[in-house]
């Protein structure tokens, strides 16, 4: 498979920050187009660093990263193919919901009418069509995160990078948003890279989990999650689901034990 046939290819990637901290080492991971891949690993193992480099917001100090066959910086400059969602919704408080979602489209240019139509389409998709004129302060945390997701989707990214987007939400809201995200992913045919600490979340969402070792982050193992989509709530009690959770937890624990005894 050539590089352009992969959504992302991390090849022997290393990152040493200016402070001397080594965040990643020899990190290699190919991601096929249309996959849903989670990065699962202990705090500080370099998950966010890997995501930022894929977005072109930070640069690796070793190895290379290709996104649809190009460098992330080239993609960032030339297109809106990469969308980013952070743990905080990061909405502009003085802009209404619709205006927040229209912002990236406005920055890109195009007709106001078309931009508005697209913003409404994605807000409908995340279940917020009745809140177009609300301000962020009038929304719950889960609703604000939906706006943030809608804003990322408005530019129709081919690759969506999500850095612990549901970490600050209560468990029920988190589960609802997980289901909604999977529906959107399937409908829009995107590739998703999703950072999480949460083993259950990683198994529920992913077609593949990249388990990372503690800092400097390396790839410990890749777990293919062979559970059919669409995935609904019942799957969480399915015996295969439970054994994937055990497998991922064990891989994480083994790495921590190795570090403590090694």
Q: How far is CA 261 from CA 39, 172, 215, 258, in A?
A: 25, 38, 16, 5
CB under 6 A: which stretch of 45-53, 111-119, 125-133, 176-184 binds ligand ATP? Answer: 45-53
Report the b/e string of 205-239 with b at 16+ CB within 10 A: bbbbbbbbbbbbbbbbeebebeeeeebeeeeeeee
| Count, residues near ligand ATP per rule CB under 6 A | 14
- Regarding 220 and contact with ligand ATP (CB under 6 A), the answer is no
Q: How far apart are CA 195 and CA 202, in angstroms?
A: 8
The yes or no reply on residue 47 touching ligand ATP (CB under 6 A) is yes
Q: Does 23 bind ligand ATP (CB under 6 A)?
A: yes
Q: What would the two tokens of residue 139 be? A: 């929304």
Length of the chain: 262
- The DSSP secondary-structure symbol of 70 reads B
Q: Under the criterion CB under 6 A, does residue 218 sit at the interface with ligand ATP?
A: no
Please identify which residue in 40, 45, 67, 153 interacts with ligand ATP, judged by CB under 6 A: 45
Which CB, 61 or 79, lies closer to ligand ATP?
Answer: 61
Between residues 79 and 198, which has the closer beta carbon with respect to ligand ATP? 198
Tell me the closest approach of the beta carbon of residue 256 to ligand ATP, in angstroms: 14
Each residue 152-191 as x (binds ligand ATP by CB under 6 A) or -, in order, gives ----------------------------------------
For residue 66, what are the β-bridge partners? 9
Smaller CB distance to ligand ATP: residue 15 or 231? 15
* 222, 248 Cβ separation under 8 angstroms: no
**Complete DSSP assignment for 74-105:** HHHHH-S-EEEE-SS----TTS-HHHHHHHHH
Tell me how far, at minimum, the Cβ of 186 lies from ligand ATP, in Å: 27
User: How far from 196 is each of 57, 90, 168, 188, 207, CA to CA, in Å?
Assistant: 19, 19, 12, 22, 14
Nearer to ligand ATP, 174 or 215 (CB): 215
Figure out which of the listed residues 144, 146, 215, 218 binds ligand ATP, where binding follows CB under 6 A. Answer: 215
- Contact region with ligand ATP (CB under 6 A), list: 17-25, 73-81, 227-235, 250-258: 17-25
Binding positions for ligand ATP, rule: CB under 6 A: 17, 19, 21, 23, 41, 43-49, 197, 215
């Amino acid at each position: 498979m050539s590089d352009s046939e992969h959504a992302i290819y991390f090849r022997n990637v290393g990152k040493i920050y200016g402070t001397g901290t080594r965040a990643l080492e020899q990190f290699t991971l190919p991601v096929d187009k249309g996959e849903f891949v989670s990065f699962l690993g202990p705090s500080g193992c370099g998950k966010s660093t890997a995501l930022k480099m894929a977005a072109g917001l930070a640069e690796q100090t070793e190895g290379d990263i290709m996104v649809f066959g190009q460098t992330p910086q080239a993609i960032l400059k030339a297109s809106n193919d990469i969308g980013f969602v952070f743990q905080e919704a990061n909405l502009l408080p003085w802009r209404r919901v619709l205006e927040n979602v229209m912002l990236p489209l406005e920055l890109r240019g195009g007709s106001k009418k078309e931009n508005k139509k697209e913003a409404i389409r994605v807000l409908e998709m995340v279940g917020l069509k009745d809140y177009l004129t609300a301000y962020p302060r009038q929304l719950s945390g889960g609703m604000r995160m939906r706006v943030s997701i809608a804003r990322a989707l408005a530019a129709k990214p081919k690759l969506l990078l999500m850095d612990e987007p549901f970490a600050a939400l209560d468990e029920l809201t988190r589960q609802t948003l997980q289901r909604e995200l999977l529906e959107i992913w399937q409908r829009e045919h995107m590739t998703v890279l999703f950072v999480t600490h949460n083993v259950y979340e990683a198994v529920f969402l992913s077609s593949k989990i990249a388990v990372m070792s503690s800092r400097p982050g390396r790839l410990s193992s890749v777990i293919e999650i062979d559970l059919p989509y669409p995935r609904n709530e019942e799957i969480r009690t399915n015996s295969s689901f439970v054994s994937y959770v055990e497998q991922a937890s064990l891989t994480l624990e083994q790495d921590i034990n190795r570090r403590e005894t090694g």
